[in-house]
Structure 1
Amino acid sequence: MFTLFLVVFLDLIGFGMIIPVFPFYAERIGVAPSSVIFFLGLYSVGQLVGAPLWGGLSDRIGRRPVLLATLLANAAASWMLAYADTGLTLAISRIISGLAAGNISTAYAYTTDITTDATRPKALGLLGSAFGMGFILGPALGGLLAGNADDGSSMGRVAHAAALLSLLAFALTVFRLPESLPPEARRSKTSTRQPLSAYFRRPILRDLLFATLVVVAAVAIFQSTMALFGAERLGIGPRTLGWVYGITGAISVSIQAGVIGRLTQRFGAPALAQFGTVMIALGLAGIPLAQSVFWLCGTLALFAVGSACFNPSMSGLVAAAAEPHERGGVLGAHQGAASLGRVVGPMVASGVAQLAGLTWPFVVGAAVCVLGTVLLRAALRAPHHQHVTSG
């Protein structure tokens, strides 16, 4: 499990390193400022397509080959980004990177393969902390490599460093990560892969997947609006915002890596998932009231606690609702729903902000989280809901 943690951690650091430099580089090669969000969104579009495909393939050929292929693809995408000099090559690099990032579903499926109902919540929390730590350290390292250049000229060395980290994760997988899905547990090569719509026809999975979509969309509304809101309302710049994000991420990581297993044993994954949506909603609703950075950190602490409880709990609930031979595909659908939320959220935030101002996207996000709670409760009240209450 520790090796998988390192593999995911290194890959996510590489992804995070790109974030602080990408907007400047995109403008440097001729992308209009208003189009930068579109190019960033291409990553989520690629992930939306890739997650179900990689998850289903891993059910047939095993988790390890999929992880190896996607890590190499991610290294290639970062290398391509280092030399991108047109909007087209920039777009292709982001799409390939997003497609490769669909391996997240495979990493979660690997975790469910090697854990029991009793140990799964802690393991999923540890994996979630790898994502969180990657997102915290990645932008910081990217900023250090970029130095004081604010014109995107440092993208070459940042992208090469990201590619190197993906190759290091590839080497770890080759030499240290054994296959988790034995041949007898794999889906038959002659069987038909379940289409995504099939999962939505199963009531429990449908409600869990829709809940994932709407809550992740609410989180994406926050992510796409926070920088603009902080600059307009509180006058804070990138450095202060980086510290705010760092504090938020540290809270989330400490919960996922430290206490999520014990919390799940005491309260259960369904209760924690619902608690998480409520805390995210409270955190989002409190942001428009912020008159100082101190208040902002306080309300984002609620948001961080909610995210730390929601993410691993939902992954566990979705995995428990699937049969062992289809977990890769189901977790791929789960990650696909999350990716769709990351596409829809910024679009909603942009429209709401243009119509009503920068405070209202957070209000809409809070309301969307309430809808997520309703969907979760519907899933847990469904017949045979015992399948999603374990762990």
Structure 2
Amino acid sequence: MFTLFLVVFLDLIGFGMIIPVFPFYAERIGVSPSAVIFFIGLYSAGQLVGAPLWGSLSDRIGRRPVLLFTLLANAIATWMLAYADTGLTLAISRIAAGLAAGNISTAYAYTTDVTTDATRPKALGLLGAAFGMGFILGPALGGLLAGNEADNAGSLARVAHAAAVMSLVALVLTALRLPESLPPEKRRQAHTPRQSPRVFLSRPVLRGLLTTTFVVIAAVALMQSALALFSAERLGVGPRALGWIYAFSGVISVAIQAGIIGRLTVRFGARRLAAIGVVLVAIGMAAIPLATNMTVLLVALAVFSVGSALFNPSMSGLVAAAAEAHERGGVLGAYQAAASLGRVVGPVLGSGIATFAGLGSPFVLGAAICLGGLLFVANDTRSRGRSR
């Protein structure tokens, strides 16, 4: 489990390094500020396709081969970003990287393979902490490598090269240290048809969980896609400061997911924590447009980060618990696909509303959408109570 933690951590560092520099990189090659949000969503479009594909494939051939292939593909796609000089090549590199990043469903499936129902919440929390730590160091390193010269092509390309190296290190670590978690006797037979997300949506419990995931993640992605541009316009920050802002949010997420999420789940239950997380995420998003200085922005992001740290591992644990052992890769792939679809829809909505109503408007819309996800959680809870 520790090796998987390191693999995910290194891979997410590479992804996080791109975040604070991507808006400036895209604008440098002629992409308009409002369209940058759309380009961010292309990465998630790739994940939307990749997550169910890799998750289901890992049920059939094992987790390790899928992780090895996708880590190599991610390194190549990120390397391509350093040489993207048109909107088309930029889009291709981001879609390819997103396809490879669909391996997150396989990492979650690996975790469920090696844990029990009792130990799974803590393990998923640690996996979430690996994401958080990647977001702490990744944006900070990306910002440091890029510096404050937003239109320096050489410094931005240097970040992309460094991110590709991180994925290659994760690849080597997987090859040398990560054993297979799914023995042959537990894999689906080759002649078994691959289950699509539509099959899982036919189950009421999974349908409610996946719908909640889509709605909340769409709202979160809408906010995240607009945060860099909003901060640059409102507070005048550059890539380096943006890196530290993302790192601040990551520290809070890691502290919760690595430290107390397991105990909170035992005390309150995953479903209640998910609902609390939705409320806090909505409050944090709604407060961001009020930020007239860095202090107010950081307070709003702190509330948002606490909510996100409660929601994500709680939902992934609920989804894993609703799946049979032989289909967890596919189910968690559907979960990641729902999240990826949200990350596609969110930036598209954000791009449109930012164009017509300003860069502060996506945060308000995101908060409203997020509260819609709370209604799905409440309705699913009531339906479970009636069935019992």
TM norm structure 1: 0.92
Separation in 2 of the partners of 1:42 and 1:189?
Answer: 32
Greater mean alpha carbon deviation, residues 168-177 or residues 13-22: 13-22
Amino acid paired to 2:306: V
**Between 195-204 and 51-60, the greater mean CA deviation after superposition:** 195-204
- Structure 2 distance, partners of 1:30, 1:361, is 23
Specify the SS of the correspondent of 2:348.
helix
8 Å contact 1:204–1:382 — kept in the other structure? no
Mapped pair 1:362 → 2:363 = yes
Distance 1:367 1:148, change over 3 A: closer
- Distance in 1 (alpha carbons) for counterparts of 2:351 and 2:87: 22
What residue number does 1:89 align with?
89
* Contact 1:20–1:139 (CA under 8 A) maintained in structure 2: yes
CA contact (8 A) 1:60 1:189 kept: yes
- 1:80 CA displacement: 2.2
Task: Quote how far apart the aligned CAs of 1:171 are.
Answer: 1.1
Residue of structure 1 in register with 2:117 after alignment: 117
Quote the RMSD (CA, aligned, Å): 2.3
Query: Structure 1: 5+ residue runs without aligned partners?
Result: none
SS of alignment partner, residue 12 of structure 1 = helix
Secondary structure class of the residue paired with 1:181: coil
Secondary structure in 2 matching 1:118: coil
Query: Residues 303-338 of structure 1, C-alpha deviation per residue, up to 9 Å, x if partnerless?
Result: 111000000000000000111111111111111111
Counterparts in 2 of 1:315 and 1:92: CA distance versus 1, 3 Å: same
Percent of residue pairs bearing the same amino acid type: 72
Secondary structure of the corresponding residue to residue 117 of structure 2? coil
Aligned to 1:76: 76
Residue deviations 1:43-89 (CA, integer Å, cap 9, x gap):
11111110010001011111111000100111111222233344333
Deviates more, 1:32-41 or 1:155-164: 32-41
Secondary structure of the corresponding residue to residue 153 of structure 2: coil
Please say if 1:167 is aligned against 2:168. yes
Code of the aligned partner of 1:114: V
- The 1:176/1:313 distance shift into structure 2, 3 A limit, reads same
| Runs (5+) with no aligned partner, structure 2 | none
Cα 1:358/1:386, change in 2 over 3 Å: same
2:23 aligned residue = 23
Q: Distance in 1 between matches of 2:356 and 2:133?
A: 35
Distance 1:238 1:165, change over 3 A: closer
Higher mean alpha-carbon deviation, 320-329 vs 17-26, is at 17-26
Provide the C-alpha distance between the structure 2 equivalents of 1:379 and 1:260, rounded to a whole number of angstroms. 22
Shift of 1:286: 2.4
Match for residue 287 of structure 2? 286
Question: How far apart in 2 are the matches of 1:297 and 1:228?
Answer: 16
Q: Which residue of 1 aligns with 2:372?
A: 371
Which residue identity does 1:17 align to in structure 2?
Answer: M
Between stretches 186-195 and 3-12, larger displacement belongs to 186-195
- SS of the aligned residue for 1:377 comes to helix
Aligned positions, number: 387
Counterpart for residue 107 of structure 2? 107
CA shift for structure 1 position 278: 1.1
Q: Answer yes or no: is the 8 Å Cα contact 1:217–1:342 preserved in 2.
A: yes
**Which residue in the other structure is 1:256 paired with?**
257
The one-letter code sitting in structure 1 at the alignment partner of 2:146 is: A
* 1: CA distance, partners of 2:236 / 2:26: 25
- What is aligned with 2:311? 310
| Residue equivalent to 1:324 | 325
Say whether residues 1:64 and 2:64 are aligned partners: yes
* Separation of aligned partners in 1, 2:299 and 2:206: 34
In structure 2, C-alpha distance between the alignment counterparts of 1:23 and 1:295, rounded to whole Å? 23
2:177 is aligned to 176
Using a 3 Å threshold, how does the CA distance of structure 1 residues 159 and 296 change in structure 2: closer, same or farther?
A: closer
Contact 2:33 2:229 in 1 (8 A): no
| Alignment CA distance shift 1:198-1:160 (3 Å) | same
Deviation at residue 32 of structure 1 after TM alignment: 4.8
Distance 1:289 1:26, change over 3 A: closer
